Amino acid sequence: MNRKILEVYFIMGTVNCLKDPLETLEHALKAGITCFQLREKGDIRLTGIAYEEFAVACQRLCQKYRVPFIINDDVELAIRLKADGIHVGQDDAAISTFRERVKDMIVGISVHTLAEMELAVQNGADYVGIGPVYNTISKPDAKAPAGLHFLRSIREKYPDFPMVGIGGISEENAQKVRQAGADGVSVISVICRSEDIDRTIHHLKSW
């Protein structure tokens, strides 16, 4: 896959936004995000028809701005909507169980250890999300920070494999994550809670 699409990888669900989610997404798309992942989690998340309708609306915006549309966890919805990709965590179905069903999709997986990274590569992942790099407020159940050292070690072992840093990334530390070896940064709250999305995304981009 083209590693450039990981440059500014925005993850969002309705519960993350202070303002209207679709307005937030479109603003982020206009400002230059390079990939979008729909991650609808939490006790007050959308479900059923409302969830699917929201997913379709997000997908249409991504298509308008020619930005890849990734769905978190929900393989069936990703297949039904013909999303550009699917992202799964270590607690979700193994890549090997659905890789055959999504041959034309981008498949990403979250990794926190070297063993998880090795399995991701062996099982046909297209990219990995390394993290959490720092402490994060977006996932209450997040693992302990993996740190920049782990990211560097993975890049040394897999110099050409697409990887994006995730977890606690801000405008201030984004470049440190890139310097440690990430192709890009994946963020939630830093965009969802931004008072100036254009400025925020400018600071998140490569210098």
Q: Which of 39, 178, 186, 194 is catalytic?
A: 39
Taking every pair of Cα atoms in the chain, the longest distance, rounded to a whole number of angstroms, is 44
143 is catalytic: no
* Cα dihedral 194/197/202/203 (nearest 10): 0
Q: Which of 3, 30, 139, 155 is catalytic?
A: 139
39 is catalytic: yes
139 is catalytic: yes
Q: Which residues are catalytic?
A: 39, 110, 139
